[in-house]
Structure formats: structure tokens, C-alpha cells
Amino acid sequence: MADKTIPYKIYLEESELPKQWYNVRADMKNKPAPLLDPKTGKPITAEALSEVFCEELVKQELDDTTPYFDIPQPILDFYKMYRPAPLVRAYCLEEKLQTPAKIYYKFEGNNTSGSHKLNSAIAQAYYAKEQGLKGVTTETGAGQWGTALSMACAYLGLDCQVYMVKCSYEQKPFRREVMRTYGASVTPSPSELTAIGRQILKEHPGTTGSLGCAISEAVEAATTQEGYRYVLGSVLTQVLLHQTVIGLETKTAMDKYGIKPDIIIGCAGGGSNLGGLISPFMGEKLRGEADYRFIAVEPASCPSLTRGKYVYDYCDTGRVCPLAKMYTLGSGFIPSSTHSGGLRYHGMSSVLSQLYDDGLMEARSVEQTSVFAAAQEFARVEGILPAPESSHAIRVAIDEALKCKETGEEKTILFGLTGTGYFDMFAYQKFNDGLMGDYIPTDEEIARGLANLPQV
Ligand SMILES: *Cc1c(COP(=O)(O)O)cnc(C)c1O
């Protein structure tokens, strides 16, 4: 078995924290396609985007050539409250699996919001504050993003209005209360508060909502109130950029100990944690300096990379946001009410979509019950109770480690453990009671979602 010369937990010194975010687009030969203005069908201008988003974030969104962006000092100071995040060697899991593989995970659950989302929440709230805004609006799926944003807004004294996907609002009352404790107002989506919410309710009575619906409502709320902008917890390239602190810290820690991962795995909802984790490694691959295998893991119930199409689509159900070229199931696709709220999004980051289309990254879809089986196995040996979203990555990491057991290969596997699952105990209860099922959309359902793609 492993000789354990590598520590169980690799921490960095505060002075080793990244001081810049890395923009992987700068090293991509095939750049992600530009966002299109839904009104004109042409590449969107900074001016048009600034009606919805903060100016500094618009600059980051549109810049595909600058490789590094300085992290402003106040954001670095906030990061120091909960970063560096540990890189953990999963010795106990390796032993349990009796695999020759070496397994590492980067744990992002060490903050009250319980996930990596805080890395971008503080950045976005900071730029809103710098612009002199009163507040921000947003959507949240399972509640992690809303929780993270409400923490960041409380810290900076900004108003925070959250539209929460209705099924999560009902399934996860505790997340809702954490947000309210931090001072955010939380509305179940679709709601009667916005015109688009009322329209969606009329067309789909009794719907449990989706991220796409909630985005439309939050955008409408931002653009109809003076001094407000909209912020988003995933999908956009600015979010992926902020999340590169995950990958940069990981790379520094691994380099310190001379560790080189063979396979890097992450769960993919809108793609921000995965994009953030793999960016520095992908940069090396794009520049021809090193080679890695990257695997995106998505739920079989919402398989945008593995069963979607690579086309321009709306980012939201209400079709008010810019169009992005991405792997998508169609903006009208409403995934079944699974327990991984953070992965119920119809599209995928345009950066990851392009990398996947270029064959630089693989994708796999996994079923819910197998994900919870992996979560349980992991919790029992590694101690951490993982978020259902994160457990998608655990599933594939275990599968890859078991392959190594068969072949005898000593591969080094790295995966992103994006958060904790304390607020997902109804889901664990269902699994523990043997009542959890799997839902895989039929080909007809996928075709229906793709039938109404915009013509561009
Ligand atoms: C939101 C979330 C995800 C998925 O979002 P990405 O943008 O794809 O990273 C994954 N894990 C957790 C814990 C989340 O909260």
C-alpha cells in the first residue's frame, strides 16, 4: 500500500495563494464563439451587456486574449478567511478500494455556504459595490449560489434578491433560511413578482421551476430596478475565471510535491468549478507542455454534453439573456426534479463546450442512485459528507480507480469535491430508505427540448 510520504492534507501558505485569475481562453486556438445579442442576433457589445451586468465583469466576460487578471486586494483578503482550500490525498478511499491508483481531491466545502460558489460571489459583489450599485439580483438552484452571494453581499453591505428554483425552495428550507439570516430576500421561482414568472406559470401550471426560469426572473428584476445588476453563479466565463483559484491552488500544491495528475475529474452543471479546476492544467495541454485527461461528469437526467447539441441557444427559459454557443438540451428543457439542483441546467459553459467539441475533454453521465452509492462509500471512509453534485465526480473517480485495480496501473486521479451535503439530507434520507429512483429522459423528451432552438 501507499508509503504515505505525501501528507493527508496539503495546505498552502497564505503567501502562496494565487494573486491573479487565469483566463484559459488566451491559450485556446479555437476561441469560444461570442455571445449574441438576442435583439440583433449580432455579437453583443459591452454597452448592451452593461445594462445587465457590472462593467468590470463585462470586461472580463468579453476578453479572450488577456491570460491573467489581477485579483483586487479586498477580494484576496476575503479569500484568506476560508482559503487556501485543502488538497486531500484520499488514502482511506484508496485502501477501501484496494486500488493502486493515487487519489486526490480539492475540497471547496470549508466555508459556511458549503461550496466553491463563494469564490465568484465575493468577486461579483465586490465589482458591484465598486460600481456604486445598491444591490444585485440572482437565481439559485439548490441554494448554494444564493447562500454564497448572500454572505458576500452581507460582508460588503449590498442588497441581495434571490429567485430560488421552486422545488429547491420547498426541498431545502434550511438553505433558504441561511440566506435570509445573511439578509437576502428569497422568492420561489417561477413567481408572480415578474412578468416572465407570471407567463411561465400560465404556460406550465404547477411547474417546480428550473434554473433557466429563475434566471429570466432575476434578469427582469435587475433591469427594472434602479441601481441593480444581475449576477450569475455559473455558466458565464467570468465565473469560470474566478473559479480558477481552485485549479491554481491545486497546481501550486501538486507542483510543491512533484505530483502530476493523469486524470482530472469534476462535476459539471454550468461548468464553473470544473472549468476553474482544470484551467491551469488545460493551459499546459493547450500550450503543448503537458498532457492530461479531463472528464466532465453530468447527471443522466440532465445530459447537456453527452446528449445535447453544440449550437447557439438562449441561456434562460424566458429568452432575455444573450445567446451562447454551447452544448445544450434547449432552453425549454425542464429536467426532472432530481436531488442535484446545482446540476439542473440545460446548457454548459461556452469555454468547456468548445474544449469538449475540440476533443480536449471527455464527458460522462451518471445516474442518481449510483452517485449516492459513491457518496455514501466516500463519506464512510473519508469522513466528509459530500454534496450530491460533488458526488458525481466521486462516482467517476471511484470508477477510474477501480479500472486501475483491474489493470494494475498506478494512475494519479484528481477530482474536485465542490461542497458539503448537510442541507441535502432529504435526498440522503430517500437514498437510505431505498426510495430514490433514476430518471433518464427519453429520446423524444430530448428531441422536444431541442425542437425550439433559435435559428442563427
Ligand atoms: C453549483 C454547484 C455545482 C455545479 O456548478 P458548476 O458551475 O458546474 O461548478 C457543483 N457542486 C456544488 C456543490 C455546487 O453548489
- Predicted confidence band at 200 (pLDDT cuts at 50, 70, 90)? very high
pLDDT at 1: 57
Spatial CA neighbour of 116 closest among 424, 418, 437: 418
Ligand 1: which of 418, 420, 422 to mutate, most ligand atoms within 8 Å of CB?
418
User: What is the DSSP secondary structure assignment for residue 346, as one 8-state letter?
Assistant: S
Per-residue cell: 141: 438552484
pLDDT greater at residue 3 or residue 374 = 374
- CA 26 from centre of chain: 21
Kindly tell me if the per-residue pLDDT of 23 is higher than 90: yes
| Pair 270, 234: CB distance under 8 Å | yes
Concatenated DSSP letters of 166-204: HHHHHH-HHHHHHHHHTT-EEEEES-SSSHHHHHHHHHS
Which residues, in sequence order, are bridge partners of residue 314? 323
Q: Is 115 in the pocket of ligand 1 (CB under 6 A)?
A: yes
What digits encode the pLDDT tens for the residues 342-387?
Answer: 787 899 999 999 999 999 999 999 999 999 999 999 999 999 999 9
Ligand 1 atom nearest to 275, measured from its CA = 9
The three grid cell numbers given for residue 100, joined into one nine-digit string:
493502486
Using the mean position of ligand 1's atoms as its centre, give its distance from the Cα of residue 31 in Å.
24
In this predicted structure, the answer to whether residue 199 has a pLDDT above a threshold of 70 is yes
pLDDT given at position 443: 96
pLDDT tens figures, 142-171: 889 999 999 999 999 999 999 999 988 988
Report the distance separating Cα 366 and Cα 361, nearest Å.
Answer: 17
Q: How far apart are CA 84 and CA 63, in angstroms?
A: 27
What is the 273 CA–ligand 1 centroid distance (Å)? 6
Judged against a pLDDT cut of 90, whether residue 173 lies above it is answered with no
DSSP result, 126-171? HHHHHTT-SEEEEEESSSHHHHHHHHHHHHHT-EEEEEEEHHHHHH
Q: Which atom of ligand 1 is nearest to the CA of 273?
A: 9
Q: Which ligand 1 atom lies nearest to the CA of residue 240?
A: 7
Ligand 1 lined by 269 (C-beta under 6 Å): yes
| Percent of residues, the chain, with pLDDT higher than 90 | 88
Looking at residue 277, what is its pLDDT?
A: 98
CA 351 to chain centre: 13
Tens of pLDDT along 205-225? 999 888 778 988 999 999 999
Give dist(CA 250, CA 270) in Å, integer.
21
Nearby residues of 225 by Cβ (< 8 Å), 6 or more positions away: 137
What are the grid coordinates assigned to 21, written together? 485569475
Q: Over range 445-454, report the average pLDDT.
A: 94
Q: Which three cell numbers stand for residue 381?
A: 471512509
End-to-end CA distance of the chain: 56
Q: Closest Cα to residue 212, out of 35, 297, 312, 330?
A: 330
Model confidence over 91-150: pLDDT tens digits?
A: 999 999 999 999 999 999 999 999 999 999 999 999 999 999 999 999 998 889 999 999
Residue 389 Cβ inside 6 Å of ligand 1? The answer reads yes
Q: Express each pLDDT in 33-64 by its tens digit.
A: 999 998 899 999 999 999 999 999 999 999 99
Phi, psi of 410 (to 5 degrees): -95, 60
- pLDDT of the residue at 212: 78
281 CA distance to ligand 1 middle (Å): 20
Give me ligand 1 centre to Cα 343, in Å: 7
139 ligand 1 Cβ < 6 A: no
Return the pLDDT at 2.
67
Look at ligand 1, atom 1, and give the residue with the nearest C-alpha.
Answer: 342
Strand partners, 161: 137, 185
Please give the pLDDT value at position 304.
Answer: 97
- CA-to-CA dists, residue 386 to 113, 151, 328, 365, angstroms: 13, 21, 27, 18
**φ, ψ dihedrals at 172, nearest 5°:** -125, 60
Whether pLDDT at 305 is above 80: yes
Determine if ligand 1 sits within 6 Å of the CB of residue 340: no
Q: Which domains does the chain have, with CATH numbers?
A: 9-17+71-114+237-450 (3.40.50.1100), 22-70+117-230 (3.40.50.1100)
What's the mean per-residue pLDDT of the chain?
A: 95
Q: Is pLDDT of 338 > 80?
A: no
Gap between the Cα atoms of 311 and 353, Å rounded: 10
